[in-house]
Each structure stands twice: as C-alpha cells, then as structure tokens.
Amino acid sequence: MVREKGWKGKESRKRLLEAAAEEFALRGFHETKISTIVKQAGLTQPSFYLYFASKEAIFDEIIHDFRSGLGELTASIRLEPGIEPEHLLQRLVQALEMVFSFLVRNPHMTRIGLFLAPQAEQIKEDLTSLLLENLRAEQEAGYFRADVEMATVAECLLGMIERLTVTHLLPGKQTPARLAKQLVDVLMYGMLPRESKAKE
C-alpha cells in the first residue's frame, strides 16, 4: 500500500483517525461509512486507502491505540517505594488524575475502547490486571494495609473509573482533578466521619 510521505502524510493519517473515532463513537461501527469519515477529515475517499485497507482496519487501529496508550499510562503511574507519608495522598491523586485526563482528552476513543469495541470487556480485564499489579506492589511498599484484598480493590477502582467517566467526566460535570480527589478520599478514608474513625 503506497502512502504519502513526510509531514503531510502523517497529518492526513491523524485526521482520518480522529474523524473515524468521532464517527464510530457517535454512530457505531456498522452505521459509520468511509465516505463520512473522509468528509469529516477533509480528504478524498481514495486517500483513505493510502493509509487503511478497510473500515475494519481503521477501527482496529483506534482500539489498539486506546488499549496501548491506557495500558502504558496505567503501568507508569505505579508508586515507587520510599514516598514520604505526607506526600502519599497527593501522589495517589496525581496518578488517578492522569488516568482521567487521558480519558477526557480522548473522549471518542474512550467510548469505543471501553464500551463499543468487541474486545471492550477484555480491555477492562487487562486494565484491572494492571491496576492489581500496581496495588499489590504499593501494598508491599507499605502504602496500604497488608490485610486488604487488592483484587477486590482493583475491580472496585475500575468500576468507579468506568462509571464516573460516563456520568461525570465526559459530560464535563467534573474535572479529572476533582474526580481523582474524590475517589482517593473515599478509598483512603471511607465514609465514616473522621472523628469516628479516630476513636476506633
């Protein structure tokens, strides 16, 4: 398959991916047409085939980009040993904020990757596994109680991220920073009044 070379080719490819992600997210795979994608991208239909063999090919690439991008980010936010206690909450908030920021920066890819893709459930299972690896390493570093079952925490955390992304993040009701702070507060302190927990 011959492709345009250089900056122009990369820019055209990027525009096609962005337009396709928006169309797939809004219309679903079966209702999306290549003619609509190229129109949104400001390109011609023959130019589409310079970069992608089919509608399936561009859809698969969007899913791959989302999966790899979110996976790499999740692996990168694992807290390293040696963080001072007074900085731990801030670092946890920053880590979750990075995840929410990735999702809100890529709203169409997020809708596809988490909900529309045939492999959406597998993507979420893989993400849960990455979260679990992080949590267990952080537990071993002494940041969390040793008796907490981190497999349950990982499932809960993924569920909260997924639901809050749909109900608050993508509609613009809450910022990544605010959502991250709320989640960390609930996970670390629970819902009992602070005074009650101090008396236990």
Region 190-199: what's the mean pLDDT? 70
Q: Are 155 and 128 in contact (CB under 8 A)?
A: yes
Tell me the C-alpha to C-alpha distance, in Å, between residue 37 and each of 9, 47, 116: 16, 11, 18
Residue 40, domain extent: 6-53
Tell me the C-alpha to C-alpha distance, in Å, between residue 118 and each of 26, 60, 121, 158, 182: 16, 10, 8, 19, 31
Q: What is the pLDDT of residues 34-74, one digit of tens each?
A: 999 999 999 999 999 999 999 999 999 999 999 999 999 99
Asked, for residue 156, whether it belongs to a domain, the answer is yes
Strands, DSSP E only, in 29-114?
A: none
d(CA 164, CA 78): 21
Place of tokens 């596994």: 129
Is 105 found in the same domain as 185? yes
Region 15-29: what's the mean pLDDT? 98
Is 142 found in the same domain as 172? yes
Choose one of 53, 72, 92: the last residue of a domain.
Answer: 53
Asked, for residue 24, whether it belongs to a domain, the answer is yes
d(CA 96, CA 133): 15
Lowest-pLDDT range, 2-6, 7-11, 80-84? Answer: 2-6
pTM of structure: 0.90
Is 188 found in the same domain as 122? yes
How many independent structural domains does the chain possess? 2
Q: How many CB atoms lie within 10 A of CB 123?
A: 19
pLDDT band at 168 (very low <50, low <70, confident <90, very high): very high
d(CA 105, CA 189): 29
Q: How many CB atoms lie within 10 A of CB 191?
A: 7
CATH of residue 23: 1.10.10.60
Asked, for residue 48, whether it belongs to a domain, the answer is yes
d(CA 69, CA 24): 19
Give residue 199's pLDDT: 52
Asked, for residue 1, whether it belongs to a domain, the answer is no
Is 109 found in the same domain as 23? no
CATH of residue 127: 1.10.357
What is the greatest pairwise CA distance in the chain? 71
Region 25-41: what's the mean pLDDT? 97
Is 63 found in the same domain as 40? no
Is 159 found in the same domain as 128? yes
Is 138 found in the same domain as 74? yes
